[in-house]
Amino acid sequence: MAKEKAARVIYWHRTDLRLHDSPALQAALDLEPECLWPVWTWDSHYVYRARVGPNRWKFLIECQKDLSASITKLNPKSQLFVLREAPQTLFPKLFRSWRVTHLVFEKDTDAYARERDEMILKFAQEAGVEVIVKTGRTLYDPDLLVKENHGKPTMSITTVQNLAKKLGTVPRPIPAPRTLPDPGHTDIDFEQERPCHTPDHNNVQRNQADNSYSTLSGPFDDFSVPTMEELGLKPATTPHKGGETVALRMLDEIIKNKDYTATFEKPKTAPTAFSPQATTLLSPYLHFGSLSCREFYWRVQDIVNSYKGNASFPPVSLTGQLLFRDMYFGAQAALGYSFGQSYNNPYCRFIPWHLPSKINTAKKLITGEYEIDSPVAEEYFQRWKQGRTGFPWIDALMRQLKVEGWIHHLGRHAVACFLTRGGCYVDWERGAEVFEEWLIDHESACNIGNWQWLSCTAFYSQFYRCYSPIAFPQKWDKEGHFVKEFVPELERFETKYIYEPWKAPIVDQKKWGCLIKGDRPVEEGGYKTYPKPMFDFSERREICINGMKNAYQIGLFGDDPKVLDGTWRELFDNSAEGPTKGKQGPPGAMVGEDATQDSGGSEAKATRKRRGGTQSTLDALLKRSRQ
């Protein structure tokens, strides 16, 4: 159907801070618009609800500034127009005010994005605005993957590889446009609506007033990208820089090394390598869409196809990494909100982890808060988060994560295994929240999927394969260079003790300027200190494996009625690892008046008495170690 009037198009950037290979941008340009506004809406969901540390804020801002500059290079009248209002309230006003005919954007399939985009679609229909949505964030449209998988989530890489075969070759990337239309007028003849600030998960990230929403078009009325200071954020510490320009330059460098590109095998890359790291570090660019995954795929594939030696193959090869990404997107697309939690997730095993999420049972959603069922587990969790477990390998990784916003994939495995099934027996959702806060490449689908994988709640089940915080890093970095970089307290320690510094004789500890004592690093009497290990690893490993074995045998999944109503406790022995005491209840898992009660009714109390105590294995262990 031919359009009567010239198109006035808003191109809504969200997951695609780039000009190269954007099917959605191409669709917008195909309309031959009379005017085109490249727009970013400062979504309050990201500002207040998502967990975003200063490093990812900085990366996002750099991606936006780079894109805006590239737009202006193609058309000096244009830029990325940043509008500081939630899209749900902004667009209806904008459609009217700017006489918009089309809204174009790249498809986003996470649960919140779908809800938001449905609403925007409705507003657009009401305003007579045509909406065009194109896939471009993944190799395959996640909804199409799911459809080909008979509506089921994609839970294994072989499944995805087979589906990919059926769906055919990944399309070649589209070159960046050489020209861009003028934007239309940008007069604002309406009031800015400021979003609800509470709950504000990012309050901890700020040290100044939050001016995210001071005005609609920014303090200089020029729709420019906000600064860290305007957002009130603490300074970023990451050395990694965002933007399409940097991303394409990095890709060029990687591709230049044909051997690396064609023979890459993820399991053979060292998690202890830093400056330079052993993997590409392109993930944050893929996350913000400043690098197109199809661009990456084909640049790699062309090298592989012409490679004379033995090239690697998916799933371990570079393109295989993109297939894993698609797998997680496919799982998320099929499961929606339940993908992000154990509760009500039919594909997620039920394990009675410590520090379980509080649940809003009416909505069947986790609330973002958690229950401290065991003070010891909470201490383990805090020490893990702050990089003071006393295991140098774990602490080095957690410190690198906090400072730089990126750690190697196998490093993520190590700390995730340690927090969950291979050490602390703490809920994977706690770990996923920390990663969400600190990773510059945080992609909800991949993060959630990887945490489920490592905790053996979904995707993977061989819980008896457990990462040792000593043997595993030793395999990669005998000298302990990585540890010495990120845990400088230990920089003078002998190689022999680098992963087990508590075994070093006191005289040597003194000689090397660091005493192994306490639960946090401090300066003391002329010496540095580094913590003692917070538990005996092999002891904890055994407890965890037994806990997992038991939970696997009981065999509940997140959508089991017993999980939903809390009566799962009937199936667990009181002494089983985790908050299993009492036979009733969901206490601990409920929100509302009953949420804070520790255990069920009189029957539970009777049972507890009969069994002679309610102490979990964890607390018993601690008590023993203090004696």
Partner DNA sequence: TTTGATGTTGCGATT
Partner DNA sequence: TAATCGCAACATCAA
Which residues of the chain form contacts with DNA (CB under 7 A)?
155-159, 162, 266-267, 315-316, 320-321, 324, 409-410, 413, 453, 459-462, 464-468, 471-472, 475, 549, 552-553, 555
Query: Least distance from C-beta 466 to DNA, angstroms?
Result: 6
What residue type is assigned to position 29 of the chain?
Answer: L
CA proximity to 385, closest of 520, 479, 198: 520
**Nearest residue (CB) to DNA, 321 versus 584:** 321
**Nearest residue (CB) to DNA, 9 versus 323:** 323
**Nearest residue (CB) to DNA, 133 versus 316:** 316
Residue 371 contacts residue 588 (beta carbons within 8 Å): yes
State the residue for tokens 């998690």: 271
Query: Least distance from C-beta 539 to DNA, angstroms?
Result: 13
**Nearest residue (CB) to DNA, 245 versus 474:** 474
Residues contacting 4, CB < 8 A, separation 6+? none
CA proximity to 240, closest of 66, 59, 397: 59
282 assigned ligand-binding residue: yes
Residue 380 contacts residue 534 (beta carbons within 8 Å): yes
Residue 616 contacts residue 581 (beta carbons within 8 Å): yes
Query: Least distance from C-beta 478 to DNA, angstroms?
Result: 8
**Nearest residue (CB) to DNA, 202 versus 319:** 319
Pairwise CA distance, residues 457 & 338, whole Å: 13
Query: Least distance from C-beta 546 to DNA, angstroms?
Result: 9
How many DSSP H helices and E strands does the chain contain?
24, 10
Pairwise CA distance, residues 444 & 328, whole Å: 9
State the residue for tokens 């460098």: 253
Pairwise CA distance, residues 293 & 301, whole Å: 12
Query: Least distance from C-beta 515 to DNA, angstroms?
Result: 27
Question: Measuring CA to CA, how many Å separate 37 from each of 17, 87, 107?
Answer: 14, 15, 18
Query: Least distance from C-beta 347 to DNA, angstroms?
Result: 7
Burial class (CB in 10 A: 0-12, 13-18, 19+), 526: exposed
355 assigned ligand-binding residue: no
The phi and psi torsions of 81 (rounded to 5 degrees) equal -85, 105
Cα angle 338, 340, 344 (rounded to 5 degrees) comes to: 30
**Nearest residue (CB) to DNA, 465 versus 520:** 465
**DSSP single-letter state for residue 46:** I
- Tell me the torsion sign for CA atoms 252, 257, 262, 263: negative
Query: Least distance from C-beta 511 to DNA, angstroms?
Result: 26
Question: Measuring CA to CA, how many Å separate 300 from each of 48, 136, 169, 283, 453?
Answer: 38, 18, 14, 15, 27
Query: Least distance from C-beta 87 to DNA, angstroms?
Result: 33
**Nearest residue (CB) to DNA, 7 versus 278:** 278
CA proximity to 583, closest of 569, 594, 573, 595: 569
279 assigned ligand-binding residue: yes
Phi-psi region of 189 (alpha: psi -120 to 50; beta: other; left: phi over 0): alpha
Residue 432 contacts residue 448 (beta carbons within 8 Å): yes
Query: Least distance from C-beta 57 to DNA, angstroms?
Result: 27
| Complete edge-to-edge strand list for the sheet that includes strand 8-12 | 81-83, 35-41, 8-12, 102-106, 130-134
**Nearest residue (CB) to DNA, 106 versus 560:** 560
**Nearest residue (CB) to DNA, 138 versus 509:** 138
Query: Least distance from C-beta 128 to DNA, angstroms?
Result: 44
**Nearest residue (CB) to DNA, 47 versus 155:** 155
CA proximity to 217, closest of 62, 47, 85: 85
Distance of CA 276 to the CA centre of its chain: 23
3-class secondary structure, 82:
strand
Residues contacting 441, CB < 8 A, separation 6+? 283, 284, 286, 287, 405, 406
Pairwise CA distance, residues 367 & 296, whole Å: 37
Phi-psi region of 418 (alpha: psi -120 to 50; beta: other; left: phi over 0): alpha
3-class secondary structure, 603:
helix
Query: Least distance from C-beta 549 to DNA, angstroms?
Result: 6
**Nearest residue (CB) to DNA, 165 versus 178:** 165
Residue 529 contacts residue 514 (beta carbons within 8 Å): yes
Adjacent-strand bridge partners of 381: none
**Nearest residue (CB) to DNA, 454 versus 622:** 454
280 assigned ligand-binding residue: yes
Query: Least distance from C-beta 327 to DNA, angstroms?
Result: 8
Task: Show binding-site residues.
Answer: 279-283
Binding residues for FAD: 279-283
